[in-house]
Structure 1
Amino acid sequence: MLPDTVIANVKSVDPDRYRSAMIAPKEGRADLLTLYAFHAELAKVPELVSEPMIGQIRYQWWRDCVDEVYSAGVKAVRKHEVSTPLAEMLLRVDMPRFWVDRLIDGRARDLDPEPFKTVDVARDYAAQTSGVLMQMAVKCLGTEPDEAVLRAGEAWGLTGLARAWGYYKDGILSELDYDQICEAARDAHKDAKAGLKTLPASAFPGVAYAALVPKFLAKLTHSGHDPATDTVNYGPLSKRLTLMGAVMRGNI
């Protein structure tokens, strides 16, 4: 079971996934929060280190932890407030190790200052991070995810890059066009929306936050928005209503 402090951290650093997780039944909710706590541990590494090598050591710690989970079981896993509940969850839901390893590798890319050369590279990055995470979330809820789930996560990841354009424009996004990123996010969301119509209602909390993408993109592409300096958000009540509407429709 996750400590309350870890759950509070997920709510703070990943509020939209947290809101979606709270839609799930009790056991599914706990598994989603465990997954998102793990992702939060991975995502924060670049902020904690001054040198990429130190960051790689931290990611290797998690790789070793995952190896312990899949080779020796829960009892052999190193003690940590996230790794212990994570190990139990991964084995119980039969999470494919490939996804876990891919998520770690995707987040480790954040240590690399090399710019994305094409929008396709940005798409691949979004799929390997947000897309794989969404696949894992749907698996936590008892459903085998299809391509539409991966595309929904990709849309979320690309939207996140657009939202953070001011931070990344001189770094990993320096060789890309802002409008290209927004258009790629819109295309991915359109593809996902068509495919997610068949997703079971029980798995929907794993993807529901992707319903926020269109409103974010509407603001990100508004004529008065300056991506280099402006930030985009909208209030908790509006987000809650969007999520509720998505759940009622069974689509994003």
Structure 2
Amino acid sequence: MSLAEIAESLRETEPDRFGASLLAPQPAREKLWTLFALSHDLARAPLQSNEPLIAMMRVRWWIDQLEAIGRGNEPGNEPLESLVATWGRDAAALVDLAEARQRDCEREPFGDAGEVEAYIRATAGALMRHALVALGVPDRRDVAQDQALGCGLAQWLAALPELDALRLGLARPDPALISELARRGLAALERARAGRRELPRTAAPALFRGMGHVAALKAMAAEGKPVAVTASEFSRRFALGRLALTGRWWE
């Protein structure tokens, strides 16, 4: 895919993330686009087969390709050409995003909150870390990781019915566990908000994840069942406008 096609796909599937990326300088913006496209492809790879071995082979292909880029090899696949064009050999550092998806191949539901949190940190947390690298922002892991964890938990819990059907959700229906995970998400977002001054304004395009996470997490903490992460069109546009004017990325 060309950069223009990647950008259009991101605009359609993740408009908040796309809108935030437009605030980054052009070279960083293009790195963000190809990073998010890679993340999307990696999330889909294990789901293209119900057979764990075949799913693992698909994820392994991505791992091998990214490692080969680090050795200076030319990408052997069109989706990787734009990634290398923007990241160069540094694209090899993104291999941890692929490695984290190996767990999805196993189709083993999560048994406790600690397992879910570790998974969110390895996926959403790693993506946040690489997005900050794309922006040239010094790593302040606690703040960025808390933001990624809170929003990641909200999105994961909201998608729980679909994840359960794929055996990627919880091992058993447990309202208490859902409430606990939601409380962990709320605590993480509060820590991120409290530490917001530790990161420069230039980090905002990576940190902004749209609106609705806090409200959804509060509802899930109280009710112990999945609640969609939603926001009105007015709220979305207001948040993006505020981000552009003030750099505010937190809810």
2:126 matches 1:132: yes
* Offset from partner CA, 1:19-62 (integer Å, 9 cap, x none): 22122222221111110011111011233223222221221111
**Greater alpha carbon shift after TM alignment, 213-222 vs 159-168:** 213-222
The 1-side partners of 2:45 and 2:144 are apart by 26
Contact 1:127–1:150 (CA under 8 A) maintained in structure 2 = yes
Candidates 87, 101, 110, aligned match of 1:107: 101
Superposition deviation, residue 205 in structure 1: 0.4
Candidates 162, 166, 175, aligned match of 2:157: 162
What residue is the counterpart of 1:153 in the other structure? Answer: 148
TM-score by length of 2: 0.84
What residue is the counterpart of 2:86 in the other structure? Answer: 89
Q: 1:190 to 1:211 in 2, by over 3 A?
A: farther
TM-score by length of 1: 0.84
Contact 1:103–1:133 (CA under 8 A) maintained in structure 2 = yes
**Structure 1 unmatched ranges of 5 or more:** none
2:10 matches 1:10: yes
The alignment-based identity, stated in percent, is 24
2:117 matches 1:123: yes
Candidates 229, 234, 249, aligned match of 2:231: 234
Question: What amino acid is the match of 1:67?
Answer: E
What stretches of structure 1 move > 6 A for 4+ residues in a row? none
**SS class of match (1:125):** helix
What residue is the counterpart of 1:180 in the other structure? Answer: 180
**SS class of match (1:44):** helix
The 2-side partners of 1:154 and 1:232 are apart by 15
CA RMSD of aligned residues (A): 2.6
**SS class of match (1:120):** helix
* Offset from partner CA, 1:68-109 (integer Å, 9 cap, x none): 21112xxx22243331121233337x5672xx2221121232
Contact 1:45–1:55 (CA under 8 A) maintained in structure 2 = yes
Contact 1:126–1:155 (CA under 8 A) maintained in structure 2 = no
**Structure 2 unmatched ranges of 5 or more:** none
The 2-side partners of 1:124 and 1:27 are apart by 31
